[in-house]
Amino acid sequence: MTLSIKHLSFQYGHQIILDDISTAVEQGELVCLLGPNGSGKTTMLNCISGFEGSFDGSIEIEGMPVSEMRDAERARHIAYMPQKDEVNFPFAAREVVLMGRTPYLGRFDVPGDKDRALAVAVLKALDIHHLADQMYHTLSGGERQLVRIARGLVQGAVFQLLDEPTASLDLKNEMMVLEHISEMMLTSSHGIVMSTHDPNHAFYFAQRGVKTRAVLLEAGTVVSEGAPETVLTVDNIRRVYRLGTQVLHFTAEEAEKPQSHIVPIRTERGI
Amino acid sequence: MSNRNSLTNHRKTRLRMISVCIALLPFAAMLAALFLGRYPISFIEVLQRLWLGITTWHYDVQDVVAGVIFQIRLPRAILGFFVGGALAVSGAVLQGIFRNPLVDAGMLGVSNGASFGAVLGFIFFNGRYGAVILLAFSFGLLAVWMSYRIASAYRSTPTIMLVLGGVIVSSVFSALVSFGKYIADPYDELPGIVFWLMGSLANTGYRELMIAIFPISISFFVIYLMRWRMNVLSLGDLEAFSLGVNIRRTKGILIACSALMTAAAVAVSGTIGWIGLVMPHMIRMLIGSDYRTLLPLSFALGGGFLVIVDIFARSISSAEMPIGIITALVGAPFYVFLLRRTKGRNW
């Protein structure tokens, strides 16, 4: 399946947020959406998910416009994990995962035993079954993200949109989330769009053998897209972030392939 | 691991015990409502008359005890149960939708709209009961509709705007109520208005029960059907949307049902505060926020609580006390006690 985005433009009042973006996400491919704050990453994800409906251009899955899909049908194709996590009522993590089954339930149904079994299976597959009975809002940031990833898997959507899944996580939790995302890509054929602030995430996924594509945004337009090595160059980063960087190459212990790593050196003030 | 399992099992048994107690509360309260009151009736007498009533399906008209039980106390207790339940459930629903613990149906203008309708009934129809009920009910719904119209003038975040619209409409109707009180005849009409505004189940019978029971049961049924969708809505609009929930339609149905059941409750009982605000909190603190249990248990607790309060209202003094006074006086200390025990957990 292909999720294609054609001539996507979005305005908020007179302010242009997205300006004629065209790209596509293939099944089995991970797209890293990069760009400075305010470059339109979240807006783009909101548009793709269908939540923001008043855009120009088209977003289609296999020729079917997402905006014309019924709510449940769309939810079976696209799962969205927004950055802001708004749960303020206490629910067990198990229930939060179970909510992923909603697009398969009738409007008045509640989940049944099969849904429950599936939720447990996914929790076990992600190695977080011990969190099942804990209250979601008492979990750590990293654990919460894993529970939400589990919910996306239970939702069974091919395309998963992740808005900065590692935002405000500590080093270990960040790595844990990245590992789970790459395992998800390697074991099943999802198409993931993940926005992130760290270009090194794209290098990490590429090194793990995930088919990775980087899309670099600046002020609502695509500056460059393609393999992480060709997009995330010192020149492109300087242009978009106004930041001087250096690219290092190293081979991690027990890793098969070498990996690139971008290190910020100094900001270019006054440019 | 096994230790933790047994711990959660222990917790589950406790939760089930509390749930069963809350579910039984309204039945116990309604039974108590039959023998407690100014007219002395013993528990045995109540059981006798109930048994006779159930087995023969009628009672002796000459029998004063049976008359008090079946004509006065029973309909009033059942009505109290439905009114209290409706207020509590609509509070639970609206607090969930607006993600705000301080919201109840009053927030949408229902109470003030209904009050104004009742004031009109007192002034123009001499407080004839049917007119007051009908006008209160209609104006309660009219107020919600107006709040909704104001809110839909805005493009984004309609629920926040609905609260704003509700505040605007509420204050207009509150001003109109004051105006009504100002021009009302101080000897003839004003006492009725003031008493109605404080909320009471005095002089209610099967007629009021018949008026209120259908809107309340149907609304509750629809809300209960949407219990899982309400759970999903707690994730926030964006995530609920991505799980295939039609946010606008779902919230619209839930708000309409809450408004309908509150308007029906307020129309027969006047404005009774506190229950819609606090009963759902109590269930959230005691049991949790899963709407599959939150909705029925809120109904049971709100209903049971109002029946108990009504017993006090009609037995404390020879004249009826307005219920609104007692709900706050009895409810507030209990709520504070619960807040300290649970440390406000679950909010």
- Nearest by Cα to B311 from B79, B73, B83, B85: B73
**How big, in percent rounded to 5, are the helix, strand and coil portions of chain B?**
80, 0, 20
Whether residues B244 and A71 touch (CB distance < 8 A) is answered with: yes
Residues A260, A228: contact at Cβ < 8 Å?
Answer: yes
Residue A220: CA atoms inside 13 Å, Cβ hemisphere, count?
A: 15
Question: A178-190: string of b/e by CB count within 10 Å (b at 16+)?
Answer: bebbbebbeeeeb
CB contacts of A109 in chain B (<8 Å) are 228
Cα–Cα distances (Å) from A39 to A14, A17, A36, A103, B48, in that order, read 16, 7, 6, 32, 78
Instruction: Give B 269-308 residues with CB within 8 A of chain A.
Output: 284, 288-290, 292
Sign of the CA dihedral with A68 first, then A72, A75, and A81 last: positive
Instruction: Give per-residue pLDDT as tens, B204-240.
Output: 888 888 888 999 999 999 999 999 999 999 888 889 9
Do the Cβ atoms of B239 and A82 come within 8 Å? Answer: yes
Give 10-residue mean pLDDT values along chain A (271 residues).
Answer: 93 90 93 92 93 90 91 94 79 91 90 92 90 87 90 93 91 91 90 94 92 93 92 92 90 85 84 50
Query: Among B26, B41, B111, which residue's Cα sits nearest to residue B77?
Result: B26
Classify residue B278 by burial, with Cβ atoms within 10 Å: 0-12, 13-18, 19+: buried
Average pLDDT over residues B273-292: 86
Q: Do A72 and B292 touch (CB under 8 A)?
A: no
Please give the average per-residue pLDDT across B157-162, as a whole number. Answer: 71
pLDDT of residue A223: 93
CB count, 10 Å around CB of A1? 13
Short-list B202, B191, B183, B194, CA closest to B269:
B202
Contacts of A168 (CB under 8 A, 6+ apart): A141
* pTM beyond 0.90: no
Q: In what order do the strands lie in the sheet with A212-218?
A: A78-81, A159-163, A191-195, A30-34, A212-218, A221-226
Closest-CA distance of chain A to residue B308, Å: 29
Contact list in B for residue A86 (CB cut-off 8 A) is 99, 235-236, 238-239
Among chain B residues, the shortest Cα distance to A52 is held by: B238
- Nearest alpha-carbon partner for A144 in A112, A176, A114: A176
| Nearest-CA distance B251 → chain A (Å) | 13
Q: Convert the pLDDT of each residue in B54-108 to its tens digit.
A: 887 777 777 788 888 888 888 999 999 999 999 999 999 988 888 777 777 777 8
pLDDT for res B343: 65
Q: Which of B99, B226, B243 lies closest to A99 in CB terms?
A: B243
| Helix-then-strand count for chain A, H and E | 9, 12
* pLDDT surpasses 60 at B185: yes
Mind telling me how many Å the CA of B176 is from chain A's nearest CA?
Answer: 37
pLDDT for the residue numbered B155: 59
Question: Which pLDDT belongs to residue B156?
Answer: 56
Task: Give me the phi and psi of A81, to 5 degrees please.
Answer: -115, 90
Within 8 A by CB and 6+ apart from A260, the residues are: A200, A203, A228, A229, A232, A247, A248, A249
Nearest CA in chain A to B250: A107
pLDDT (tens digit per residue) in B3-19: 445 557 777 888 889 99
- Could you give the percent of chain B with pLDDT greater than 70? 95
CB atoms closer than 10 angstroms to residue B48: 14
Give the model's pLDDT for residue A269: 72
| Non-local CB neighbours of B57 within 8 Å, separated by 6+ positions | none
- Are A131 and A123 in contact by the 8 Å Cβ rule? The answer is yes
| Nearest residue of chain A to residue B98 (CA atoms) | A88
Window from A203-207, B29-33, B134-138, B186-190 with minimum mean pLDDT: B186-190
CB contact under 8 A, A89 and B289: yes
Task: Give the model's confidence band at B1: pLDDT under 50 very low, under 70 low, under 90 confident, else very high.
Answer: very low
Beta-carbon-side half-sphere exposure of residue A183 (alpha carbons within 13 Å):
13
Tens of pLDDT, residues B97-150: 887 777 777 778 888 999 999 899 888 887 777 888 889 889 989 998 898 888
Mean residue pLDDT of chain B comes to: 85
Residue B208 token pair: 């009021």
H helical segments located in B99-157: 110-124, 129-151
